[in-house]
Structure 1
Amino acid sequence: MSAILKAARGGRIPINPAVVISNRPDALGLASAKRLGVETRVIESRGFAGDRWGYDQRIVSALKDCGVTPENGLVCLAGFMRIISPQFVRMYRNRILNIHPALLPAFPGLDAQGQAVKYGAKCSGCTVHLVDEGVDTGPVILQDVVRVRDDDTAESLSERILRREHILYPRAVNLFATGRIKIEGRRTIIEDPPA
């Protein structure tokens, strides 16, 4: 999230970050967003365990209050450890991005780095994908490979993948913002920049 905000503030992505929302008041991203002059909101998820859409309606309301609409907005998930309701996904169809610390479709869900190490994978990495109604199943936009070393732990692999995430996610947001992502079924085509 911070990498995206810094890239936008530095003029490397033609977007205007409108709001950073967290379900945890102690999330580090909130302080980072405030330092960069981006509005923040905390919408706690306690009490919504069985009502994803009830919680997501509060998120949608905050997004719309800040001008992030299904017609013109982009929602970027970063460390948001909740499964989004199908209603939210349908409302913002092809306008929700997520980053995952593995080369999807391998190692979806939680502890992807630990899964890669335990499995004995020789490479892992990170994936920016569009969010669909599944868990880490949306169309892939960009991926970057990180070699898994023989002495890696989940923590050491996580550190190296995170450095790549900070480069890859802003790049994917830039592709979206400049209209260079074309979706054909499950595939995304990255179009050349205009001449």
Structure 2
Amino acid sequence: MPDACDLVVLISGAGSNLQALIDSLGNRNPARIRAVISNRADAYGLQRARQAGIETRVLQPRDYPDRDGFDDALADLIDGYSPDLVVLAGFMRILGPAFVRRYNGRLLNIHPSLLPKYKGLDTHRRALEAGDSEHGCSVHFVTEELDGGPLALQAVVPILAGEGLENLAQRVHEQEHLIYPLAVRWFAEGRLRLGAQGAMLDGTPLPATGQLIRI
């Protein structure tokens, strides 16, 4: 079994993807969550972490004069845990270039669309309004381009005839809870890495779409 891979998870809200990560631990999974950090003191995900015996910290932007000051303090807090990987799990802040460069190749995010489609917010509505036949979610390495880093894994979800926003969002969310723990486990096992040309799995460059899973 590989050596333990230490994670720090950043959240802002309910923490359902955090819970999926917590539930995936064990069973010879070398990933280990050292801490969960939130920029909101009322984030329910903090309670999920505490129930799992994971250390929690809160760092609020209002306590810092500017974004760079917050990013620097956040990075210092993260580095206190010496993580191998930093996982963004519904962390609703844009991180500055210096922060992203500091964790180059060690920073993962999940986004509720089939990137590069629908970067940013309100992705499910945008997919429906565009008349798309499929939607989904993407795990990617974080770079300075918002939602633009190399893709590691995508789950493709067919859009059903007459499907509403709430149902589509729920179905995509279910896939997030499957593929994010999988991608994190791949990283923890040394299988997933960021190479010079993009994401790599088992030493082989992944396609621009990352590894595709269709349901």
Q: Give the structure-1-normalised TM-score.
A: 0.89
Secondary structure in 2 aligned to 1:6? Answer: helix
- Secondary structure of 2:37's counterpart equals strand
Matches within 5 A, 1:1-195: 1-8=18-25, 10-46=26-62, 51-68=66-83, 73-191=84-202
Larger RCO (CA under 8 A, 6+ residues apart): 2
Give the Cα separation in 2 of the matches to 1:131 and 1:65.
21
> What letter matches 2:67 in structure 1?
R
- The CA distance in 2 between the partners of 1:166 and 1:186, in whole Å, is 27
Partner of 2:113, secondary structure, is coil
Conserved 8 A contact 2:20-2:177: yes
Residues 45-88 of structure 1, C-alpha deviations (whole Å, 9 max, x = no match): 2265x8322111121121122232xxxx2110011111111111
Change in 2 beyond 3 A, CA 1:175/1:116: same
Deviations 1:121-168 (A, max 9, x none): 110111000000011000000001111123223322110011111010
Cα separation, 1, equivalents of 2:164 and 2:68: 36
Contact preservation (8 Å) 1:24, 1:43: yes
C-alpha distance in 1 between matches for 2:27 and 2:141: 24
Deviation, structure 1 residue 186:
4.7
TM-superposed deviation, 1:13: 2.5
Separation in structure 2 between the aligned mates of residue 12 and residue 154 of structure 1, nearest angstrom:
37
Is the CA contact (8 Å cut-off) linking 1:13 and 1:173 kept in structure 2? no
Q: Between the two proteins, what is the percent identity of the paired residues? A: 42
Query: Structure 1 regions of 5+ residues with no counterpart?
Result: none
Q: Secondary structure at the match of 2:109?
A: strand
**Take 1:127 and 1:28, find their aligned partners in 2: how far apart are those partners?**
23
> Could you list the runs of 4 or more consecutive aligned residues of structure 1 that deviate by over 6 angstroms after TM superposition?
none
SS of equivalent residue, structure 1 residue 145: strand
AA aligned opposite 2:78 = L
Measured in 1, the distance between the counterparts of 2:106 and 2:29 equals 16
Gaps of 5+ in 2: 1-17, 204-215
**Normalising by the residue count of structure 2, what TM-score does the alignment of the two structures yield?**
0.81
